[in-house]
Amino acid sequence: MFIDEIKIYAQAGHGGKGCVAFHREAYITKGGPSGGNGGRGGSGILQADHDLNNLIHQYYVPRLIAGVGEAGMGRGMDGHAGKDLVIKVPCGTLVWRLKDTTPPIQKKMTSPDYDEEDEPENLILGTSTGKRPLFRTSQGESALEIDLSQEAESAETPDEAESKGELVADLTTHGQQFVLCKGGRGGLGNCIFSTARHQTPRFAQPGEPGTEGEYLLELRIMAEIGLVGYPNAGKSTLLGAISRARPKIAAYPFTTLTPQIGIVEFAPDYKRLTVCDVPGLIEGAHNNVGLGHEFLRHIQRCKVLVLLLDMAGTDNRKPWDDYQQLLKELELYDPALVKKTRLVVANKMDEAAAEKNLKQFKTKIKKVKVLPISAAFDEGVEKFKKQIREAVEEAA
């Protein structure tokens, strides 16, 4: 199972409370205050790791709770600090802080400045059943009640509903860390508050609460080469021909349902390139048709894009129409994608109609270099590997 987007809840540990204690020992009648400080709470930390390729761990553990700090003890002993929770995520993970959906009255009641006298008389608090659907029954028939006014408000502001919140981190390098939620400070014991005028304080500080919140982790695969094309264009076949990756290959469209990664190795100097095979795009992918957004975001980090065309037209499509439509979808999704270095590759040249279509393609689409290959029979694959290496070096 490939997981590239997951919503999590993270909470840092609370700080331990300070201790109120006094020193008691034989022959020492008034030893004075000896309460220790509370330990700090543990923090939730995200760490990028190049050995991971998806967010499957967070799928099974969506609640990330760090350890709490221990309370202070007598004899001036401080409590142990809470253990930090280090969560490893793949390189290329974006962290979005989701908007707080707590009702305003609930925020006010939990604030330290809350005063009960300021409450309105007819206050109605939200309950756990407040968001459940409401059914009405009449004459033995049940129906769901729909508030059309709320639908109108949501239709007016679609961007707010689809917003991912605030981008707080982009983990791209191996070992890079980001403090997702910071642990609370521990409270001070009563020995800290002892002064010449107040030598026996009988109070201590409580520990501070740790920060918490809901976050969205989004993975954008980091690769030098991105294979883009229509379904059944031969992207998986090409990936298997240039690397040791073994994606699923079959004679029907949408065989690849998740992005596939392959490593291309060059023997002379042991150079390695990472290639990402994105599932097939269709018309309207920029509007998330056919899960277009789920695939297009993975090529935003690629240095070079390879537009793979089915030059044989096995699915009754014209290669020049595919080329123009692919560029259109990329530009509508993100204009920066069409500015990237790209190579146009004509696949399935072993078919009878491929040569004729290639000539027509060069006539209709001028000033575009096309590399003819046949990935299924390893024809032109070595030349293709050489060109993608040169393109990556130029893009760098």
pLDDT at 259: 77
pLDDT at 124: 47
Domain boundaries defined on the chain: 1-100+163-219, 225-395
pLDDT at 64: 93
Q: pTM of the entire structure?
A: 0.72
Measured CA to CA, the distance from residue 134 to residue 23 in angstroms comes to 62
Measured CA to CA, the distance from residue 36 to residue 207 in angstroms comes to 12
Which residues of the chain fall below pLDDT 70? 1, 100-135, 139, 147, 149-163, 248, 250-257, 280, 282-294
pLDDT at 108: 53
Task: State phi, psi for 147 to the nearest 5 degrees.
Answer: -90, 105
User: Architecture of 225-395 per CATH?
Assistant: 3-Layer(aba) Sandwich (3.40)
List CB contacts of 36: < 8 A, sequence separation 6 or more. 18, 19, 21, 72, 73, 74, 75, 76, 77, 78, 79, 189, 191
List CB contacts of 265: < 8 A, sequence separation 6 or more. 243, 271, 272
CATH domain 1-100+163-219 topology: Spo0b-associated Gtp-binding Protein; Chain: A, (2.70.210)
Measured CA to CA, the distance from residue 238 to residue 258 in angstroms comes to 16
pLDDT digits (tens, 9 = 90+) for 370-391: 999 998 888 999 999 999 999 9
Give me 389's structure tokens. Answer: 């290496």
Q: Which residues pair with 342 in a beta bridge?
A: 305
Cβ-based neighbour number of residue 199 at 10 Å = 10
pLDDT at 160: 39
Among the residues of 51-209, which ranges form H helices?
Answer: 56-60, 104-110, 148-156, 158-162
User: Over the range 311-348, which residues count as b (16 or more CB within 10 Å of their CB) and which as e?
Assistant: bbbeeeebbbebbebbeebbebbeeebeebebbbbbbb
Q: What 3-state DSSP class applies to 39?
A: coil
pLDDT digits (tens, 9 = 90+) for 318-351: 889 889 988 888 888 888 888 888 899 999 898 8
Letter for the amino acid at 348? Answer: K
Measured CA to CA, the distance from residue 92 to residue 276 in angstroms comes to 13
Pick from 341, 12, 57, 34: nearest CA to 191: 34
Pick from 201, 188, 248: nearest CA to 37: 188
Measured CA to CA, the distance from residue 334 to residue 324 in angstroms comes to 15
pLDDT at 20: 94
The percentage of the chain sitting over the pLDDT mark of 70, rounded to a whole number, equals: 80
Q: How many CA atoms lie within 13 A of 376 on its CB side?
A: 13
Measured CA to CA, the distance from residue 329 to residue 292 in angstroms comes to 9
